[in-house]
């Protein structure tokens, strides 16, 4: 039997999901480490495990349960992923961005990405939420490497507006209505899974980075390729500059994310309720 093509795999995954849901989602959400559980339990109507979906992979990281949830907030139907795929798990870049491509095939035109990130900007603190205005790809890899699928997007996608300014403004307006302070910053994406050395932290800050993390950048590139309107909200779960006295650990990242997740939920709810 010949190998199934990427486009056929995407179609298979989307066809399976569309049979299970009452209507196509308009908004796609990916929740980062420790950020999704309570909001999804409150809002979701349908839950589908990754293991049930044709061609889907398995999320292997603590804090990423591995399920898609479908629901409706206000008049807007959405699909949310609780559990993303990371390059450091051993997946290829094509596999890492596979869910973004399935979202597009489901009917999504707006993508909201969230993540837990380390703070590089000394003006930030743990618990802050940062709307990402741009990124620097320090992973050393690219999700569009190889043969381009013209049905997905152009060979050379434009990246200067990968972070949609109108979408960012709408999320900022939601935060202002709720009196939640949200800052803006530049995200540096690394491959992981080790945390940053002191020398790397100093270099990233000198390059203009405000936050750093091990996800998101490949997803944003794939979303730009697909023509999706995209915004990213980072939750600062640990500060890197000046060096923290407390040792870094994934348990600490998850704990800090969960302690601050409700502010994120309020912003998302307000945004979705005011979306037309």
Say whether 33 is catalytic. Answer: yes
pLDDT digits (tens, 9 = 90+) for 163-197: 999 999 999 999 999 999 999 999 999 998 998 99
Single out the catalytic residue among 91, 173, 191, 250: 250
Catalytic residue, chosen from 86, 163, 196, 239, is: 86
- pLDDT, residue 34, reads 65
| Candidate list 13, 33, 105, 115, residue with the active-site label | 33
Segment (H or E) for 230:
strand 229-239
Q: Which of 170, 234, 238, 260 is catalytic?
A: 238
Does residue 190 sit in helix, strand or coil?
Answer: coil
Establish whether 142 is a catalytic residue: no
Task: Look at residue 275 in the predicted model and tell me its pLDDT.
Answer: 87
Q: Which of 80, 116, 162, 175 is catalytic?
A: 116
Tell me what pLDDT residue 251 has: 67
Which element (helix H / strand E) includes 135? Answer: strand 129-137
Q: State the Cα–Cα distance between residues 67 and 180, nearest whole angstrom.
A: 29
Give per-residue pLDDT as tens, 14-61: 999 999 999 999 999 998 866 666 666 676 679 999 999 999 987 765
Q: What is the pLDDT of residue 33?
A: 67
Q: Is 189 exposed, middle or buried (0-12, 13-18, 19+ CB in 10 A)?
A: buried
Q: How many CB atoms lie within 10 A of CB 207?
A: 12
Asked if residue 269 lies in contact with residue 167, where contact means CB atoms within 8 angstroms, the answer is no
- The CATH architecture of the domain made up of 6-273 is 3-Layer(aba) Sandwich (3.40)
Name the catalytic one among 43, 64, 135, 225.
64
Instruction: Give the range among 2-11, 89-98, 117-126 with minimum mean pLDDT.
Output: 2-11
| pLDDT above 50 (res 216) | yes
pLDDT of 240: 85
| Interval 221-250 mean pLDDT | 84
Tell me if residue 158 is catalytic. Answer: no
Closest C-alpha among 84, 112, 132 to residue 236: 132
Question: Whole-angstrom Cα distance, residue 207 to residue 89?
Answer: 27
Is 89 in the active site? yes
Asked if residues 62 and 42 have their Cβ atoms less than 8 Å apart, the reply is no
Backbone angles phi, psi at 226, to 5 degrees: -85, -10
Q: What residues pair up with 185 in beta bridges, in sequence order?
A: 132
Q: Is 86 a catalytic residue?
A: yes
Query: Is 77 considered catalytic here?
Result: no
250 part of the active site: yes
Cβ atoms within 10 Å of 245's Cβ, excluding its own:
5
Query: pLDDT grade, residue 1 (50/70/90)?
Result: very low
Residue-wise pLDDT for 69-111, tens only, equals 999 998 999 999 988 899 999 999 999 999 999 999 999 999 9
Q: How do residues 249-275 score in pLDDT, each as one tens digit?
A: 666 666 666 667 788 888 999 999 998
Please tell me whether residue 176 adopts helix, strand or coil conformation. helix
88: annotated active-site residue:
yes
93 an active-site residue?
no
């Amino acid at each position: 039997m010949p190998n199934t093509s990427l486009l056929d795999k995407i179609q298979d995954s989307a066809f399976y999901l569309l049979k299970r849901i009452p209507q196509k989602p308009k908004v796609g959400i990916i929740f980062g480490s420790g950020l999704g559980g309570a909001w999804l339990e409150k809002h979701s109507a349908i839950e589908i495990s990754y293991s049930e979906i044709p061609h889907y992979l398995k999320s292997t990281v603590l804090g990423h349960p591995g399920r898609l949830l479908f629901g409706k907030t206000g008049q807007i139907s959405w699909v949310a992923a609780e559990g993303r795929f990371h390059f450091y798990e051993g997946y290829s870049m094509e596999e890492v961005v596979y869910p973004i491509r399935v979202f597009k095939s489901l009917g999504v035109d707006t993508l909201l990405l969230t993540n837990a990130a380390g703070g590089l900007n000394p003006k930030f603190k743990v618990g802050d939420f940062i709307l990402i205005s741009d990124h620097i790809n320090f992973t050393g890899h690219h999700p569009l490497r190889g043969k381009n699928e013209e049905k997905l997007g152009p060979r050379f996608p434009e990246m200067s507006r990968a972070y949609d300014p109108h979408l960012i403004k709408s999320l900022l307006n939601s935060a202002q209505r709720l009196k939640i302070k949200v800052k803006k910053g530049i995200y540096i994406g690394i491959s992981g899974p080790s945390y940053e050395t002191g020398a790397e932290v100093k270099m990233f800050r000198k390059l203009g980075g405000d936050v750093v993390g091990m996800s998101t950048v490949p997803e944003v590139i794939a979303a730009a390729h697909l023509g999706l309107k995209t915004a990213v909200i980072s939750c600062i779960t640990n500060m890197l500059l000046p060096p923290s006295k407390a040792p870094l650990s994934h348990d600490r990242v998850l704990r800090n994310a969960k302690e601050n997740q409700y502010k994120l939920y309020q912003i998302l709810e307000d945004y979705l309720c005011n979306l037309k």
